[in-house]
């Protein structure tokens, strides 16, 4: 795997993946495709370990002509697909964009990869990989006494966001079975860490606490989610890309399920002379 197209690479998890990849893999070259919507920022791609091995392209994953051009121009042998609309509340207010980006955008990338790798027979199939980054929200929600989600948990999405991600998962899996496209999928739990978008729970609580503002807690704060440090997630994704079985799905979690209220209380107990990165590392 030499030339990797990373979609959504200016976002939270995607940018952390690029930092991780350039640090850990000295031979890979990375092409970043990002539309720079509200959650993506070029600030996330500053201070890269080896910026000469990185190219940024601003564009929409639904633009088939552009994606085809990038695949050919850079001889892409690996796609790491992070690009997605991912905020539940925003999906409730405007679901169409989530369906367009998460479902049709994924379809466009799959078709481009199928044409370049399979139809044009550019690489041997054991030398290419399409990796789709999904979410555990496709499985629905857990009660406190429920076991953790597994790879065989039935899908039960509860929002337009999670439904659109479930749809994209199914399309990726269908391309593996229908066309033998070498794909893998990871479904991850909630991430926290550097470059996190400020409207999310961890950075919002930290920033409000440092500013002496009220801390946002939804309802009674007893909602439970599994939390995973973002660099651990990036390491898991790269391991699946390199070593995972084509056609398989892998759940990635932190085995760490505090309530939202306990997260807020833990952050408040941390010394305020910590850097934000240290707070994010130690808060869960």
CA distance 113 to 116: 5
DSSP 138: G
Is 218 an active-site residue? no
Look up residue 122 and give its two tokens: 């550019």
| Cα gap 164→143, rounded to integer Å | 23
Question: Which residue out of 60, 77, 85, 136 is catalytically annotated?
Answer: 136
Is 161 one of the annotated active-site residues of the chain? yes
Task: Determine which one of 137, 169, 226, 231 is catalytic.
Answer: 137
276, 278, 279, 284: CA torsion to nearest 10: 140
Give all strands of the β-sheet with 29-34 in edge-to-edge order: 54-58, 29-34, 3-7, 78-81, 129-135, 183-188, 249-252
Looking up tokens 């044009």 gives: 120
- Catalytic annotation on 136? yes
CA distances from 116 to 19, 29, 72, 180, 183 (A): 27, 18, 7, 14, 14
Q: Token pair for residue 236? A: 């898991």
Query: Which of these is catalytic: 54, 161, 175, 192?
Result: 161
Catalytic residues: 136-137, 161
């Amino acid at each position: 795997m030499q030339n990797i197209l990373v979609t959504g690479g200016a976002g939270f998890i995607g940018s952390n993946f690029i930092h991780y990849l350039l640090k850990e893999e000295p031979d890979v070259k990375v092409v970043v495709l990002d539309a720079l919507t509200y959650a993506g920022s070029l600030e996330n791609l500053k201070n890269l370990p080896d910026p000469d091995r990185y190219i940024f392209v601003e564009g929409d994953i639904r633009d088939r002509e552009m994606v085809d051009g990038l695949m050919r121009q850079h001889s892409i042998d690996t796609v790491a697909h992070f690009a997605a609309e991912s905020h539940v509340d925003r999906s409730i207010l405007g679901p169409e964009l989530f369906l367009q980006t998460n479902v049709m955008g994924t379809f466009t990338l799959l078709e481009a990869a199928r044409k370049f790798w399979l139809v044009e027979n550019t690489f041997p199939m054991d030398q290419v990989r399409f990796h789709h980054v999904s979410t555990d929200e496709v499985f629905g929600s857990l009660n406190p006494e429920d076991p953790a989600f597994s790879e065989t948990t039935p899908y039960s999405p509860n929002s337009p966001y999670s439904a659109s991600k479930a749809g994209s998962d199914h399309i990726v899996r269908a391309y593996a079975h229908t066309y033998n496209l070498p794909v893998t999928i990871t479904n991850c739990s909630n991430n926290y860490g550097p470059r996190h978008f400020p409207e999310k729970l961890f950075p919002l609580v930290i920033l409000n606490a440092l500013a002496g503002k009220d801390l946002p807690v939804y309802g009674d704060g007893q909602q439970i989610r599994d939390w995973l440090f973002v660099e651990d997630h990036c390491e898991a994704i790269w391991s699946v890309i390199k070593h995972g079985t084509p056609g398989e799905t892998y759940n990635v979690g932190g085995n760490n399920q505090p309530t939202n209220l306990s997260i807020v209380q833990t952050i408040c107990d941390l010394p305020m002379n910590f850097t934000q990165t240290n707070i994010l590392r130690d808060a869960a």
